[in-house]
Amino acid sequence: MKICKKITKNLLVALIFVLCHHQNIDGCDQKQEPQKSFNASQKLMELASAHILSRAIHVAAMIKVADHLVDGPCNVYELAEKTEVHPTALYRLLRLLASNNIFYETADQGFALTPLAELLISNHPESLQPWLANHDGDEKRWRSYGHMGYSVQTGNPAFNYVYGQGYFDFIAQDNDMAASFDEGMRNLSEKEDRALATYYDFSAYNVITDIGGGKGGLLTEIMKLYPSVHGVLYDLPHVQISAQSYVSQCGFDQQVVFTSGSFFDQIPSGSDLYILKRILHDWDDELCVKILSNCRNAMTQNTKLLIIEAIVADDNSRDFAKDVDIAMLVLFGGKERTQNEWTALLEAANLELIKVHKTPSMLSIIEIGIVK
């Protein structure tokens, strides 16, 4: 009898379960639907508030809190004294970061480094501290992001709307901002350049021109692996002073020619390979075609061009390049592009895509030749 009652009870539970899921009995789904709605609302609120976490990372980079944790965990009051900030406010900042695996909270309001936090150490080999503190965290950029709606309404950069001129024209008149921009880009490029030099075979080229090549980070990394290569650094005049110093420190001053000019005017001829790394995403399609046409004019049938940029996924997948694309719109009026969009730009400049070389980073190496 007890066994029969137990079986009957189990059957009754099973029946209720089936009815709740397939016949929507009052009271069964009513409890589930509010929970689903709450979860969705919570998720959207968290996504909409992600700028708070971003800014917290920037502030941690600015005050260099990670530098004071290299020797081990430290109490927040001691950290506040070393970084010259308010202790309770610092605790709240680090608590937020620790909840996202950036730092780790120990006993008695102490904090320690995590693998992510180590990248905020200013002298770490893979440090992002300069880029986060001085470049991505720049207040003028953030003020521009606050006017993103203008860019969506007009298709024009919000930076121009806020400051009355283009980003690069603005920093050309602001030495501090220009220095911060250059330092931030150098910091970001150092890690990329070492990897990029290994993901393409440069052995077939004698002379390589890096267009807008900055201090020469990518060119020198290539030369370390291919000692017979000679290089040309083509950039604006104010960049060349630091570039000459850096290339000399790397021991390649006898192999590199420094040429100043604008890629909107012309590209120096005579090289076997031209490189455009993180250049074209700053500009709209019309200006990109102008730059590419100038490259085309400098090339011969045997010359190659490498565009090193992101290729945006053309589906609904999560892709960091889509985030960067909005930043390009707001700040410069530029864009990240899909492979089809890259192909269209190349065709407009009488160039053709030969091959796309994927790398572990968000960047791809797009190999290009002249249309034959």
The arithmetic mean of pLDDT across residues 267-278, rounded, is: 97
What percentage of the chain has pLDDT greater than the value 70? Answer: 91
Pairing of strands 256-260, 104-106: unpaired
* Domain residue ranges in the chain: 2-48, 50-137, 184-370
Calpha distance 65→60 (Å, rounded): 6
The arithmetic mean of pLDDT across residues 273-292, rounded, is: 97
Taking 50 as the threshold, does the pLDDT of residue 125 lie above it?
yes
Strand (E) or helix (H) holding 306 = strand 304-310
Calpha distance 194→302 (Å, rounded): 26
Taking 60 as the threshold, does the pLDDT of residue 269 lie above it?
yes
Q: Which two tokens stand for residue 25?
A: 């009995």
Of residues 194 and 287, more confidence is placed in 287
The residue type found at 46 is E
Residue 330 CB contacts under 8 Å (≥ 6 apart), including other chains: 144, 145, 147, 148, 151, 157, 158, 159
| CATH architecture entry for 50-137 | Orthogonal Bundle (1.10)
Tell me the DSSP string of 91-151: HHHHHHHHTTTSSEEEGGGEEE--HHHHTTSTT-TT--HHIIIIIIT-HHHHHHHTTHHHH
> What is the set of active-site residues?
281
Distances (CA, A) of 209 to 71, 232, 277, 298: 43, 4, 11, 11
Among the listed residues 215, 244, 217, 220, the one whose alpha carbon sits nearest the alpha carbon of residue 231:
220
Calpha distance 263→260 (Å, rounded): 10
Tell me the DSSP string of 214-238: TTSHHHHHHHHH-TT-EEEEEE-HH
Identical fold, 50-137 and 184-370: no
Calpha distance 98→106 (Å, rounded): 10
pLDDT the model gives residue 202: 97
φ and ψ at 111, to 5 degrees?
-140, 150
Q: Which of 9-23, 85-99, 189-203 has the lowest mean pLDDT?
A: 9-23
266: left (phi over 0), alpha (psi -120 to 50) or beta: beta
Distances (CA, A) of 72 to 61, 79, 94, 118: 18, 12, 15, 12
Distances (CA, A) of 122 to 42, 62, 125, 194: 35, 10, 9, 19
Of residues 120 and 191, more confidence is placed in 120
Class of 184-370 per CATH? alpha beta
Per-residue pLDDT reduced to its tens digit, 32-75: 677 777 788 999 999 999 999 999 999 999 999 999 999 999 99
Taking 80 as the threshold, does the pLDDT of residue 89 lie above it?
yes
What percentage of the chain has pLDDT greater than the value 90? Answer: 76
With beta carbons less than 8 A apart as the criterion, state whether 333 and 284 touch: yes
Per-residue pLDDT reduced to its tens digit, 242-266: 899 999 999 999 999 999 999 999 9
Residue 17 CB contacts under 8 Å (≥ 6 apart), including other chains: none
pTM for the whole thing? 0.84
The pLDDT mean for the chain works out to 90
Residue 247 CB contacts under 8 Å (≥ 6 apart), including other chains: 215, 216, 219, 220, 233, 253, 256, 258
Residue 167 CB contacts under 8 Å (≥ 6 apart), including other chains: 157, 159, 160, 331, 332
Q: Is 182 helix (H, G, I), strand (E, B) or coil?
A: helix
Taking 50 as the threshold, does the pLDDT of residue 19 lie above it?
no
User: Band of the pLDDT at 239, cuts 50, 70, 90?
Assistant: confident
Q: Which of 187-191, 352-356, 366-370 has the lowest mean pLDDT?
A: 187-191
